[in-house]
Amino acid sequence: MQTEIIQTNETTDHEAFQAIAQIVVSSVESISTKKAYIRGLTDFLRWYDRRGRPRLIKAIVQEYKAELTAAGMGAASINQRLSAIKKFVRECADNDLVDESVSRGIDRVKSIRQLGRRLGNWLTRDEAEDLLNAPDASSLKGLRDQAILAILIGTGLRREECASLTFDHLQQRDGRWVILDLVGKGNRKRSVPIPSWSKAAIDRWTSAAGLTDGRLFWSINRGGHLVSEGMTGKSVYRVVKEYASTLGAHDCRRTFAKLSYKGGAGIEQIQKSLGHSSIQTTERYIGADQDLTDAPCDHLGIRL
């Protein structure tokens, strides 16, 4: 992926910072994070250039953070930009472009505290079934789309993980089908059990498409023919949006987590399927500490 980071009007500095920016962008796995880092570093360095390129110290980054806050940017977006800037400055220090003391000072710039927690969106079981049955199963594209939705809802995979699946990932272990040794976010490797209905959807699609090896999911042209091996995370996102305009691929992942939890699955096993780094992350993700079904307001005893 190309980075278009602009630092100064001086050629030497420009080329040096371009190289550092590329290192920072290349250090993250997620395509969406790469794009966010490119945008964040570009905006910061343009702002820094307009400021006359003062000495890059902690106070300068704090000033930039204050301007983003005043402009109404959300806490999550500001924190992501701060993360990119800190990594950028650390790489600059490693390459003798700034002092190590500068890097340590900027590392201490505090993130914006996020009050509360976004619960996100998820489907009920009936809504999930309706979504799974929405594609036209009489067409090749419909079979592919149904298989993609069955993977997203049935296993909780991220959209990039779904797009990268190959036949070699599908293996039988302990009498059931699993996605074996999937490398996900943070280069963490995991194996994910597949429900029988997800595997059946995959089999219908691959049989109709005549696929037996390589990537599981292929691009299809307007005429309904396979055109290229493999899809991207963005392509998977578009599949979800086609059948549920208000839903994203991440909401399918959260639906998997919520329905599994409500069905009695243990949080530790849900964590392993999702590939979260900790149980606490999974608890926050599914809102395990907040019961929206039997809520406090249901016990007020008030009638209107």
What residues have CB less than 8 Å from 138, skipping those under 6 apart?
none
Name 61's bridge partners. Answer: none
Domain 11-107 has CATH 1.10.287.130: no
**Over the stretch 131-156, which tens digit does the pLDDT of each residue have?**
999 999 999 999 999 999 999 999 99
**Over the stretch 169-193, which tens digit does the pLDDT of each residue have?**
999 998 999 999 999 887 889 999 9
Structure tokens at 191: 């194996």
State the Cα–Cα distance between residues 237 and 248, nearest whole angstrom: 7
Scored b (16 or more CB within 10 A) or e, 17-31 reads bbebbbebbeebeee
pTM of the predicted model over 0.75: no
Residue 113: pLDDT over 60: yes
Hey, what CATH topology would domain 125-286 get? hpI Integrase; Chain A (1.10.443)
Judge whether 292 and 258 are in contact, CB under 8 Å: no
H-helix or E-strand spanning residue 86:
helix 75-94
| Delimiting residues of CATH 1.10.150.130 domain(s) in the chain | 11-107
CA torsion sign, 286 to 288 to 294 to 297? negative
Q: How buried is 254 (Cβ within 10 angstroms: 0-12 exposed, 13-18 middle, 19+ buried)?
A: buried
**Over the stretch 198-223, which tens digit does the pLDDT of each residue have?**
999 999 999 999 999 999 999 999 88
Which among 40, 62, 45 has a CA at the least distance from the CA of 111?
Answer: 62
Residue 75: pLDDT over 80: yes
| Delimiting residues of CATH 1.10.443.10 domain(s) in the chain | 125-286
The end-to-end CA distance of the chain, in Å, is: 59
The stretch 23-49 carries a mean pLDDT of 84
Residue 248: pLDDT over 80: no
Which among 155, 154, 159, 158 has a CA at the least distance from the CA of 132?
Answer: 154
